[in-house]
Structure 1
């Protein structure tokens, strides 16, 4: 089991490995506009994703869909990606190491903007507000809010902000780390854990279609989602931010919010 600190350390190691390899001449140096030049040349925008977190990114009938998926596809058009997005599937804990190793050029996977992650990557402007919430079985009367978490077993997705938050603020809680979002919710539904801690939008959506669980009203945190890119791609970051601004101005962004969140309340 690994926490956010572990995979950030792995990301730093990956970054050093890339630098060393570049120095040896195995990979080309990447200028600020290298990704944008690649998009112009290939027509594709390479983006890493762990598509297991509805309504942001998930698979339906063999195709990726969700808020992040459609927003990034719109951003890709603004960047000039005539062939669209080349999605690279990878577990959440491997996203930052994969970005640093040049496997893709942006992460779009409902990732919170944190100070720890900023040490390794550059983030876009906030594209959606979020926060951590508690999910329990609907019949669970023992957990009514954050004050009831100490001593309880809590499922979390490995590599997410939930892990360090629980260990820091609820040290007596038994943290059960699992690989996927589905596994995490399954832990609660089957009673293997007393609760799960995860992002509010995904938890709310799941609870709407699974009445055996419920999301508590009191949030643990209020945080923001952002797209992550390498720090040496400052021009790409600026272009992505400009695209987000344009999509908000022309109404595209709000249509996606209405589609994936507002209609699901």
Structure 2
């Protein structure tokens, strides 16, 4: 997605299944799959400099890491990785496409060097990997029919109105809904926000929950649906703001720290926002949160 605002989310997100397990020539090298040979252990940063290539675990999902309509390997996390790893002395990047749920297992089994998928940082994941500080923070939003006839602006509203609720596979929004009191057995799980939009437009569900970024992107050309104003989910009485970042193996602290040094400099200079902005991010989604805060 070289110029994301010019493309539709439907075209991009539908490429997720196409990307899985398929060898495709990308902008910087051939795509691998999660079944490739394992990467040698050792000083990862030194090895990457020697190899001049870093392998990135991606989930084939816009706007984080995917193939655009021109067949180019791109995404906010991908473009950020290209810049930072070049400054670390690693000029080439090679994507390794896998299902989102396989990203952390694939990283820890050395099928790639780093997860570059805009992954939310939370305690459960922090028990398995180490994160760089987040490149963005994110609130939630609902996809609803135009005019929001049921007045759905929070998970509590979903419970109050007994609205038919849907969200995506593996989404954090599943836990937020359950925490608010939505019965787990009543949650409809759909493939992605495009499927969610279609379900809302057809009346199969009343609401599809996702991030504010994907919500406003997917409804851009819809005549029937809209995205609600962004909001922070309330969990155990506290507002929850998520942040997404790069994940590394627990032994790769040197690589993570070098990456952090670069991302902090880019935040300070404004370069980070300039990279993320074409993918639909706003200034309100830039963040000073740290991985340590989010892991706690």
Q: TM-score range by the shorter chain?
A: 0.7 to 0.9
In structure 2, do the counterparts of structure 1 residues 109 and 262 end up closer, same or farther at CA, with 3 Å as the change threshold?
closer
> Is 1:205 paired with 2:217?
yes
2:265 aligned partner: 246
SS at match of 2:45: helix
Instruction: Give me the TM-score of the superposition, normalised by structure 2.
Output: 0.71
Query: Which aligned pairs between 1:1-265 and structure 2 lie closer than 5 A?
Result: 30-31=41-42, 33=43, 35-54=44-63, 56-60=64-68, 61-82=70-91, 84-146=92-154, 147-150=156-159, 151-172=162-183, 174-219=186-231, 220=233, 221-261=240-280
Report the CA distance between 1:140 and its aligned residue.
4.1
SS at match of 1:209: coil
SS at match of 1:77: helix
Unaligned runs of 5+ in 2: 1-36, 234-239, 285-296
Asked if the contact 1:51–1:64 (Cα under 8 Å) also holds between the matched residues in 2, the reply is no
Unaligned runs of 5+ in 1: 1-25
Report the CA distance between 1:247 and its aligned residue.
2.5
In structure 2, do the counterparts of structure 1 residues 187 and 225 end up closer, same or farther at CA, with 3 Å as the change threshold?
same
1:17 aligned partner: none
Asked if the contact 1:131–1:223 (Cα under 8 Å) also holds between the matched residues in 2, the reply is yes
Moved more, 187-196 or 102-111: 187-196
Report the CA distance between 1:251 and its aligned residue.
4.0
In structure 2, do the counterparts of structure 1 residues 47 and 29 end up closer, same or farther at CA, with 3 Å as the change threshold?
closer
Moved more, 244-253 or 152-161: 244-253
1:18 aligned partner: none
Report the CA distance between 1:186 and its aligned residue.
2.9
SS at match of 2:200: helix
Asked if the contact 2:38–2:109 (Cα under 8 Å) also holds between the matched residues in 1, the reply is no
Count of residues in Structure 1 that have an aligned counterpart in Structure 2: 236
Structure 1 vs Structure 2 CA RMSD: 2.6
Moved more, 40-49 or 153-162: 153-162
Higher relative contact order (Cα pairs below 8 Å, separated by 6+ residues): 1
1:211, 1:66 → 2: CA distance?
27
Report the CA distance between 1:58 and its aligned residue.
3.6
Runs of 4+ aligned residues of structure 1 deviating over 6 Å after TM superposition are 26-29
SS at match of 2:187: strand
